[in-house]
Chain A
Amino acid sequence: MATIAQREAAPGGLWSRMSLGQKQVMWAWGFLAVPLIFYAVIRFWPTFQAFYLSVTDWTITRPASFVGLENYKRLLADPLFWQVFRNTFMYLILGTPISLGISFVVAYYLDRVRFMHAFIRALYFLPFLTTAAAMAWVWRWFYQPVPIGVINDFLASFGIPQQPFLRSTTQALPAVLAPAVWAGLGFQIIIFLAGLRAIPVTYYEAARIDGLSEGAILRKITLPLLKPTLVFLVVFSSIGFLRIFDQVYNINSNDPGGPLNSTKPLVLMIYQTAFSSYEMGYAAAQTVVLFMILLVISLVQLRIMRDR
């Protein structure tokens, strides 16, 4: 039945009047439409929604009404926002160079190791596979005071005074950052290794024949040719540190972002505003600010590190 109906409808239909090329285009768009619509509905629509919400005072339970730039004004006047802003940039400024530095050194030497190369590489990659929440909990216990904290027990056994770590406003942020850096290393090492492998061996051979030192080879050949890899990793890891959340939330879940907000990143502030205080409008305004920061930083980095 169905096939007959199709055949009957076919002669006068729009489809039959199309050329083969047009039909192919139609098919292509038909398939492309699925991910495009998905992307538009799941990604772009909520993004625009967030922009709209940021100028309302929606609280989930009360209907939203337009408040103009009230949320942004409140944000700029909120000392917590500026503290959180500083913290977020501390994660970025400390996290990105440290993690890239360590992972480059590891990759640079691991590249020369032949013995059990794959195994060692896998070991470095392992933390990247671990759930951030689980890792944060393990490190949370590492940092405890005596008698249960491994690090403090170690310090105490050498007669060194125990350190407050997570209970200090100055030590807490680096303490939270350490597991985040450690966990990200594996991924960065793999990318660096791939970048190093992509540099033609002939360049090195020529340089060695010309008698260049190892340091000069590193500066004149390896690093310049590694630039695309570096750009990718800088942008990728910067965005990662600007969006840090799981580690911070889980390492101190009784006082998330504490003590005294010294480890609170912007994403955690957004989360608490939205899902603990239910001030959705205010949280949306914070989200818009985070979006702008991420956008600007990514653009600036891409511009600075672009090949000229």
Chain B
Amino acid sequence: MRFRHLLASVALGVAALAATGAKAVEIEYWQYVFDTRVKAMNQLIAKFQEANPDIKVKQTTFPYADYQTKVAAAILAGQGPDVVQLFYGWTDNFIAGKMIRPLRAEAFPAADIERDFFPIISAMKRGNDYYGLPTAVRSLALFYNKKAFKDAGLDPNNPPKNLDELVAAAEKTTKRDASGNIVSAGLTLDMAGQDHQWWREVLVRQYGGVPYTDNDTKVAYNDEAGLKALTFYTDLQKKHKVGQVGFMDEGQAAFRAGLAAMTIDGTFRLGSFNTIKGFEWGVTELPANAQGVRSNYASYFANAITTKADGEKLAAAEKFLTYVSSPEAMKIWMDVVGELPARRAAALTPENTAHPIYGPFLKGLEYSRTTLFKDEAAQRQVAIDMANRVLIGGEDPKASLAKAAEAEQAIIDRAKR
């Protein structure tokens, strides 16, 4: 008797569960594990579910390594996310693999997107369609160690504004031992970090060139401007001796340890640098050239709707995407993760632009560029090797530049096939 009761109650329970399950649409959201990003997304999901009780969002996170492989394998197997986070540079791959679908123009009108977001959003556009929207964007700036500036007799509230001042400040803040070895660098040199972006989108342009033409499918830096940009960069180590590739292993490590006075890095480094206890640091815009020309490199992770989502899940996914790219979500994301809002109105508030840390990054966004990478890792490697050939191999910058241009063009051409 008792058993039968138990059975009945279990059956009832299952039925009840099934009923509620049928009422709420469950969609899956995937992003990589990064503590603050996961935390921010949890907050966004909680708020979204509160406003949309009929939708449940399940967040799945996984390590960054092999990101594309995992997402591709899952979606092609009919599993995986309905909404997925992807780096803007992977868009071509994801579209080619039929992993993400274009945003429906009725739900996300292109005119609205172009009006509200920073221009770098164009990296998500193919033909007339947008394939995803970011919550936050990242740009570069010059971090400087105020203590090192003071010790070297520089004004800690007046960081370098142009390239000449940058070199001068780096020379003053570099410390060497008796044999001339650098024990504290003026400026970090780390092509594997953000320097390759600085070289490509900033220095090349400041010397009057362009890194690419034809929608970033033709390498264009193998000219006088590219040579000047490369020589400027390699001279920092060879001529001015204010930094050294590999010093303290990584540029950011050197800065964190207080053994580099300046480093160029992105908003994503703020979380790490915020925990520095030993000294006070500041942020300023990337230095302009002598004519006042500035440039910056911006990038972002966008959220896209996968081909797996359809029917009511598609509708739920669209609602969710709308929410995570809303001004409210951007505010939360900025507070928790420290990344800049992707919408102009949300980003360029008087409070934000006057912010001592966010301000310089936001100013950079106004004139920033986004490289349409075909294979980011391989293209970065080209820049690393280009600098190494000059710095380690003692090769002529001109020859090294030509080799880099050829190697990068080959990578781009292969991806186009």
Contact = CB atoms under 8 A, between A and B. Distances in A.
B219 interface: no
B246 interface: yes
Contact of A278 (B68, B177, B245, B393): B68
A62 B393 contact: no
Given A62-B97, A167-B392, A144 B248 contact: yes
A161 B68 CA distance: 45
Interface string B91-108: 001101111000000000
A57 to B, nearest CB: 8
Contacts of A276: 375, 377-378
B383 to A, nearest CB: 11
B247 A145 contact: yes
A258 to B, nearest CB: 7
Contacts of A277: 375, 377-378
B249 A275 contact: no
Nearest to B247: A145
Interface string A169-183: 100000000000000
B192 A254 contact: yes
B378 A148 contact: no
A61 B392 contact: no
Interface string B45-77: 000000000000000000000101100110000
B177 A259 contact: no
Contacts of A166: 246
Contacts, number: 81
A214 interface: no
Given A61-B93, A260-B388, A159 B249 contact: no
A147 B254 CA distance: 11
A298 interface: no
A61 B72 contact: yes
Given A169-B393, A255-B192, A141 B177 contact: no
Contact of B96 (A61, A146, A147, A156): A61
Contacts of B375: 276-277
A131 interface: no
Given A156-B177, A278-B93, A260 B246 contact: no
Nearest to B381: A255
A61 B384 contact: no
A198 B130 CA distance: 72
Given A61-B72, A62-B96, A276-B377, A162 B249 contact: no
Interface in B359-417: 375, 377-378, 381, 384-385, 388-389, 392-393, 414
Nearest to A262: B392
A260 B249 contact: no
B32 to A, nearest CB: 15
A254 B384 CA distance: 10
Interface in B14-39: none
A236 B247 CA distance: 37
Contacts of A258: 384-385, 388
Given A61-B99, A146-B183, A162-B181, A167 B93 contact: no
A60 B72 contact: yes
Interface of A: 59-62, 140-141, 144-148, 156, 159, 161-162, 164, 166-169, 254-255, 258-261, 272, 275-279
Given A254-B192, A255-B381, 5 more contacts: A61-B99, A254-B190, A258-B388, A260-B389, A275-B69
10 contacts: A61-B96, A61-B99, A141-B249, A144-B248, A147-B177, A156-B181, A162-B181, A164-B392, A166-B246, A255-B384
- Pairs of residues from A and B, 9 with the lowest C-beta to C-beta distance, nearest first: A61-B97, A254-B192, A167-B246, A276-B377, A259-B388, A147-B183, A146-B181, A60-B72, A61-B96
Interface of B: 66, 68-69, 72-73, 93-94, 96-99, 177, 179, 181-183, 190, 192-193, 244-250, 259, 375, 377-378, 381, 384-385, 388-389, 392-393, 414
